[in-house]
Amino acid sequence: MYGLVNAAIADLAREIGGDAAWQAIREEAGLVESSFVGMTAYPDELTYDLVAAAGKVLQMSQDEVLRAFGRHWVRYTGRKGWGPLLEAAGTTMPEVLGQLDALHCRVRLMLPELRPPSFRCTDVTASSLRLRYYSHRAGLAPMVVGLVEGLAELLDVEASAEAVDRVVDADAECVEFLVCYAPLRARV
């Protein structure tokens, strides 16, 4: 994954446990690099190793690390100048979630090695929707719960996501989430 992801993990680890925790995670993961170049693609292995090491050092389960990472990703990318990308996607949960594939298409124009997941919304109501997450990568679904929480923070609404179904293929993973949010008001 692009270095920005690994940099976000490092930033999250420092936020939780300070620089000492991040150094311990680097050591645990056998990481040679001391920092990451955001726009350089790194092997996925490295990211998985960081998540595993972060769990060990910060005494969090893998699911907790992934969820915290999802929340942090929205904040971190906002801080690093990518906020307008997400802000342009919409102002409500269903709008933004429905625009994520288009957003990733745009980012891919710049970053040819991007392998973004795909998100599809169905059964959209004023206060809930079903979100299907299709990923090239296995085991990252708990991150989606955090991503939804991060988006909720950004949009200043209450929201939650819960996995309700999963289909695992040889080379892909599809997980369906039920996303609930504060009811949208009819526009006048």
Q: Got the DSSP string for 92-130?
A: SHHHHHHTHHHHHHHHHHH-TT----EEEEES--SSEEE
Place of tokens 């609930």: 180
Segment contacting ligand 1DX by CB under 6 A, of 19-27, 122-130, 135-143, 156-164: 135-143
CA 42 to chain centre: 17
CA 113 to chain centre: 17
Task: Select from 77, 100, 82, 70 the least CA-distant residue to 160.
Answer: 70
Instruction: Tell the smallest beta-carbon distance from residue 4 to ligand 1DX (Å).
Output: 4
Contact 32, 26 (CB under 8 A): no
Out of 21, 24, 28, 38, name the contact with ligand 1DX by CB under 6 A.
38
Window 56-75: residues binding ligand 1DX (CB under 6 A): 73-74
Q: Is 140 in the site for ligand 1DX (CB under 6 A)?
A: yes
Window 156-185: residues binding ligand 1DX (CB under 6 A): none
Of 23 and 64, nearer to ligand 1DX (C-beta) is 64
Task: Note the residues at the interface with ligand 1DX (CB under 6 A).
Answer: 1-2, 4-5, 38-39, 73-74, 77, 82, 85-86, 100, 103, 107, 111, 114-117, 135-137, 140, 143, 147, 151
